[in-house]
Amino acid sequence: MFSVRLVEHPLPSVERDADALVEWMVSTLALVRKRGDATADDGRAGPVHRLLRDHLLGQPGRSWDAQMLADDLALMPASLNHHLTRLVESGLVGFTNEGKGWRKYYLNGGSVSNAVAFLQQRAQLVLKQRTFALERCWHRKGLDLPVELGQPDTPALMLGVVDHRPTPVPSEGNWLSHWMNDFGLLGERPGKELHSQSLSVRLFEDLLGRDAPLSLDEAMDVHGGDKARIGRIFERFRATGMVERVPRTDRLTTSLWTAMTSQHQRRGPDWMLKKGGFQRLLTDELQTLLLRALGEQELSIDALNTHLEGVEVREQMLLLNLLGGRLPMGYRMAGHNIDALHRTVETRMDRVLRRMARVASLLDEALPASREDSSK
């Protein structure tokens, strides 16, 4: 089974330090769960780092049996098997059962670059197949907001890519929850979130059927749960590249009404005219109409929407900014349809894979040089 977890990191600043390059590869493939404070050696004395540097990556022309590796690394067989299984599932490492005795493990393709190229191709194919399988649950029509604004920040990618396999039976989860778990949408240790009616699954199902972004307040009202927890779930969704956070321009009129009423009460009509943007952006007739309604406390959201029909949406947004208001943020799927979603995630994954290819070529040069220096 192909299974890999990709974590986005900037390219290493050094090109000849074999240890730094191996460390980057270990971190990008999430081969080691890091806990607590950073260590002085950055994990370079750890078994996974030494397994790659001294054996599988460092000597790509050799094969290694598990007993030999366990002796060299001073590891228990169960622990070594766990690390080797992760590497085999990622596609970097292969094994052969030729002859009797222990399996022989080796670097696929005979070089780090070839092994990463194999991982690249497999990851791209699996991502496409698994993403389009989501079509059975997709009900979003892909309608645009009044003004489309990109998300202000993008978290580092943390994406799982796993081959299709039948849903385990028995299981408290369903097809969608296991699909989400494979892509990392449920976190590293999903636990109860793997249940078909867990909060994470219900929120994702909601996003699959919504055009308007879903705010934290709306999600809490509909699905229950703590607001902070819902925020963490959405941020985990964003880290996979499948969900984006955008300004809710569909809430523009509501935000304007809130800003107008609060600023009129606090600062008065003169401030609204001179510094609040009324004179700059609104006609004399509309200024008078709105100030009269605000003074008599008769301005409703529906009435404001009617009054602003002749004002361009971008000017309304500028008016909101001058009034000191702000648009709420909401979460939605990062694509109008399955095609767009796949392209978005694939683009971000390819950026990580291109970095891996670059580091692989550097490792092919740095590791032999490192062995020569150590032999002098």
**Residue 39 pLDDT level (bands cut at 50, 70, 90):** low
- 373 has a pLDDT exceeding 60: no
User: Using an 8 Å Cβ cutoff, are 66 and 88 in contact?
Assistant: no
Average pLDDT of the residues of the chain: 90
- 100 confidence band (pLDDT: 50, 70, 90): low
Fold for the domain defined by 3-128+354-375: Arc Repressor Mutant, subunit A (1.10.10)
pLDDT digits (tens, 9 = 90+) for 110-160: 999 999 999 999 999 999 999 999 999 999 998 888 878 777 788 999 999
Q: What is the pLDDT of residue 45?
A: 75
Average pLDDT over every residue of 18-46 = 78
pLDDT digits (tens, 9 = 90+) for 238-266: 999 999 999 888 899 999 999 999 999 99
**Segment 69-94, tens digit of pLDDT:** 888 888 888 888 888 999 999 999 99
The torsion defined by the Cα of 341, 344, 348 and 351, in degrees rounded to 10, comes to 130
pLDDT of the residue at 207: 96
Using pLDDT thresholds of 50, 70 and 90, give the confidence band for residue 35: low
Strands 104-107 and 64-65: antiparallel
Where are the CATH 1.10.10.10 domain residues in the chain?
A: 3-128+354-375
Q: Please say if the pLDDT value at position 37 is more than 60.
A: no
What angle, rounded to 10 degrees, do the helices at 199-208 and 216-223 form? Answer: 120
β-strand pairing of 243-247 with 3-7: unpaired
Residue 226 has a CB neighbour count (10 Å cut-off) of: 10
Q: Quick one: which of 327, 317, 322 has its CA closest to 276?
A: 322
* Residue 183 predicted with pLDDT over 70: yes
Q: What is the DSSP string of 6-17?
A: EE--PPPS-SS-
- For position 151, what pLDDT does the model report? 75
Q: pLDDT tens digits for 310-354?
A: 888 889 989 999 999 988 899 999 999 999 999 999 999 999 999
Using alpha carbons only, give the angle 104, 108, 112 rounded to the nearest 5 degrees.
Answer: 125
pLDDT, tens digit, for every residue of 266-300? Answer: 999 999 999 999 999 999 999 999 999 999 999 99
DSSP state of 135: G
Please report how the helices 216-223 and 227-239 are oriented relative to each other, as an axis angle in degrees rounded to 10.
110
What percentage of residues in the chain have a pLDDT greater than 70?
A: 94
Q: What pLDDT score was predicted for residue 192?
A: 92
